[in-house]
Structure 1
Amino acid sequence: MSRRIDLVAEKTAIDVLRRRGIDATIIGEECGRIEGKNGYVIMDAIDGTTNASRRIPFYCCSLAFATDFRLSAVTDAAIIDLVNGDLYYASKGKGAFCNGKRIRVKEAGDDIVMGMNVSKIGPDVASKLAPVMARADHVRVFGAVALELCYLARGLIDASIDLRGKIRPTDIAAAYLIVKEGGGKIYSDGKELESDLDIRTRLSFVAVAQDNVLHYLGMAY
């Protein structure tokens, strides 16, 4: 069921893009890569497929445009919450917005709310996360990483962590720009997150409102 939802949603998104004359190379989880001429559209037609198939109301559609084949080349992004219709978007250097209102990460205090994906983690990742979970005041598992990162950019949560090494660039390309334009930070292996956009690439990341959240969680880079 979840696979069929992804296929139908992605085909619909591709058809809309082509009808609107967008001739960029399209990179998607289901289609892989469809060659075009100008730039790259990185899509996740439904992020949170399991949530959608189980009627858990937390899933979204994510689109990003990049001028080059790297996360840092993403210039425009849009994510729509498919449950309530909230539209998050950003353009490089112009800030992040939700439904036309500018959004910004929250100045973190000592009451940290954190999103974390712990699905099928191995003992090595579990050992890394155990002290972090012990320090965090509130841990949530949302099940749709792009929308979770929008919550970070909007100031609803203070951190988002996924150390499983399973995240695809298609999962976070749009959210990456929205978080950065909202004032947040995204790290991987102690450095600012950077990656190619290849569908075969897998990532881990730590996203925070400010660096002091890293210190609070004992993850200072």
Structure 2
Amino acid sequence: MEVLEILREASNRIYKNVKDLAGTNDAAGDFGVGAGGDISRNIDIVAEKTVLDYLKEINFECIVLGEECGRVELSKNPKGFVIMDAIDGSANAVRGVPFFCSSLAFATENKLSSITDGVITNLSNGEMYWASKNKGAFYNNKQIKVHKKDPIYKIVGINTSGSSIELMNKLHPIFENYNHTRHFGANALEMAMFARGLMDIFIDLRNKIRIQDIAAGYVIVKEAGGMLLDANLNPLDTDLSYETRVSFIAAANQEILDEIMSQINS
């Protein structure tokens, strides 16, 4: 079985196991702090267990890097890394806000740039985004591309949750000059929506985002023709460590990138 099909099947199983759990009392609970640094909720645990059980069932030789479970070695001779945020947008999922997803990616080495496959599933409705390196990005079997034309409404995705006053001051011109800024509470799904052409740029300059949150989005954005850069406007790349935190900018084209960065740096 191809790696992409494994990730897609794991994502489908997550959806089946959590779609009726979100927004209920059983979705919450406090299971301590997970490997990613956030409190693990019951819906997180159910979703991760679903993936781990499936990978064990098919004897997929890999190392899992999970948001909650941490590093789980399923083989002494792994083919690579499964990078898993089984529930991205846990707060939305627990409260029943219909914007949360699973994010699964596969990397052959300990680098973001070695990711070959990624799958993001909107767990509120089962819609799936996926990509494999050099094979394009897809949404529900239809190939997708970032928005290249001059849009009717310029939509700027921007994550400012927990931002410092200094960063908010730096970003203020964007909020002042652009009427349509968005953040929905699940970075992975927002990256997928950007890749589909629903946003023109997506920015997270907090230096807080974990690799699990962006691994699948990384390959989906790139295969959809998007630019993916770090805060210094260099191609985004890093190791897969739990200690690693990144800032990133996903832009549809150089024009929108230059336009937005001129606002931030003015």
Q: TM-score, normalised by structure 2?
A: 0.79
What per-residue deviation string (whole Å, max 9, x for no partner) do you get for residues 64-112 of structure 1? 0111011100001111111121111101001000111100001142631
Instruction: Give the AA of the match of 1:41.
Output: V
Partner of 1:7: 45
Partner of 2:33: none
Query: Which of 104, 123, 127 is matched with 1:82 structurally?
Result: 123
- Within 5 Å, give how 1:155-166 maps onto structure 2: 155-166=197-208
- Within 5 Å, give how 1:10-89 maps onto structure 2: 10-35=48-73, 36=75, 37-89=78-130
Report which stretch shifted further, 110-119 or 145-154.
Answer: 110-119
1:119 corresponds to 2:161: yes
Q: State the distance in 2 between where 1:114 and 1:54 align.
A: 25
CA contact (8 A) 1:135 1:216 kept: no
Instruction: Give the AA of the match of 1:183.
Output: G
Instruction: Give the AA of the match of 1:22.
Output: F
What per-residue deviation string (whole Å, max 9, x for no partner) do you get for residues 172-194 of structure 1? 00000000000001111221111
Instruction: Give the AA of the match of 1:142.
Output: F
CA RMSD of aligned residues (A): 1.6
| Greater than 4 Å deviation, 4+ residue runs | none
1:98 corresponds to 2:133: no
Greater relative contact order (CA < 8 Å, ≥ 6 in sequence)? 1
Instruction: Give the AA of the match of 1:119.
Output: S
Instruction: Give the AA of the match of 1:138.
Output: H
Partner of 2:243: 200
Distance 1:181 1:219, change over 3 A: farther
Identity of aligned residues (%): 48
Give the deviation of 1:219 after TM superposition.
Answer: 4.2
Q: State the distance in 1 between where 2:45 and 2:104 align.
A: 16
- SS for the counterpart of 2:261 is coil
What per-residue deviation string (whole Å, max 9, x for no partner) do you get for residues 13-50 of structure 1? 11112212211100011111112321010010001100
Report which stretch shifted further, 116-125 or 64-73.
Answer: 116-125
Give the deviation of 1:200 after TM superposition.
Answer: 1.8
Q: State the distance in 1 between where 2:124 and 2:222 align.
A: 24
Is the radius of gyration larger for structure 1 or structure 2?
2
Unpaired stretches in structure 2, ≥5 consecutive residues: 1-27, 29-39
Instruction: Give the AA of the match of 2:242.
Output: I
Q: State the distance in 2 between where 1:19 and 1:133 align.
A: 49
Unpaired stretches in structure 1, ≥5 consecutive residues: none
